[in-house]
């Protein structure tokens, strides 16, 4: 058994809230580059091919009778850039330090500095207090020591972005992405990617809420392309 690895992963503020609330236990991320299966020889026994990137970890070639079979083989090879079951992901989220440190680059900050997380207003105290809140810093610049959320991967697979519509487990598949299931009374539930209260703008179909969530992060063109995605399931663990 290979040793578990640890990698960073970016999440937006709403998705960080969903993780903290226990709503979000899965994330879907586009499959990059040549890992996407393509039809190469239509008349052959195994016409679909996926060629891995030229990389010591992700380099591979797989063939399959169908596009889906080829994609599944990609997933089985453990080629997911986010890791495999048992690996850990430390979350990079929006953050800020004290205002007097606004000119200091993240790599030069002392690990003892207090850090505030806009997702829920929580402040990481390490002995000294924050005098005034500084400028917001993007998640991509969060150093490992400032991360407060650690996830363990429980499952990885490859599928089309829009797979699952109409299936019996469809609601649970996409509520797990962090969308809100909102009770409207009389046993009726509606869905929204961000808000959790009844009102106008909620969707009766969880698929619609899931679509709006994806578009808000990746754009309408990405949704319409229905790309292959890595489906990474996880659970939150203690850092």
What pTM does this model have?
Answer: 0.84
Assign 152 a pLDDT band (cuts: 50, 70, 90): very high
Spatial contact of 234 and 152, defined as CB atoms under 8 Å apart: yes
| Mean pLDDT of the chain, nearest integer | 86
Q: What is the β-pairing status of strands 228-237 and 48-51?
A: unpaired
| 25 secondary structure, DSSP code | -
pLDDT tens digits, 75-89: 777 678 899 899 999
- Domains of the chain, residue spans: 94-141
Q: What is the DSSP letter of 7?
A: E
Residue 1 pLDDT > 70: no
pLDDT (0 to 100) of residue 134: 96
Positions of E strands within the chain: 6-10, 26-30, 38-39, 48-51, 61-64, 88-92, 115-117, 122-124, 150-160, 180-185, 188-192, 228-237
Cα separation values, 174 from 100, 177, 209, Å: 42, 5, 9
Supply φ then ψ for residue 208, to 5 degrees: -65, -40
């Amino acid at each position: 058994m290979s040793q578990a690895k640890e990698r960073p992963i970016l999440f937006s503020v709403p998705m960080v809230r969903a993780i903290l609330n226990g709503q979000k236990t899965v994330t879907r991320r586009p499959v990059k580059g040549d890992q996407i299966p393509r039809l190469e020889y239509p008349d052959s026994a195994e016409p679909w091919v996926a060629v891995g990137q030229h990389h010591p970890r992700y380099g591979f070639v797989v063939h399959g009778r169908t596009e889906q079979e080829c994609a599944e083989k990609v997933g089985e090879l453990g080629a997911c850039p986010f890791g495999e079951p048992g690996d850990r992901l430390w979350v990079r989220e929006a953050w800020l330090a004290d205002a007097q440190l606004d000119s200091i680059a993240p790599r030069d900050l002392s690990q003892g500095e207090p850090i505030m997380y806009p997702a829920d207003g929580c402040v990481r105290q390490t002995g000294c207090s924050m005098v005034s809140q500084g400028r917001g810093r993007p998640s991509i610049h969060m150093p490992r020591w400032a991360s407060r959320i650690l996830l363990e991967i429980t499952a990885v697979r490859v599928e089309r972005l829009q797979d699952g519509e109409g299936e019996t487990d469809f609601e649970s598949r996409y509520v797990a992405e962090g969308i809100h299931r909102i009770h409207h009374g009389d046993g009726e539930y509606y869905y929204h990617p961000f808000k959790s209260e009844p009102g106008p703008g909620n969707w009766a179909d969880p698929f619609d809420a899931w679509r709006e969530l994806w578009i808000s992060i990746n754009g309408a063109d990405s949704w319409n392309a229905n790309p292959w995605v890595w489906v990474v399931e996880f659970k939150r663990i203690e850092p």
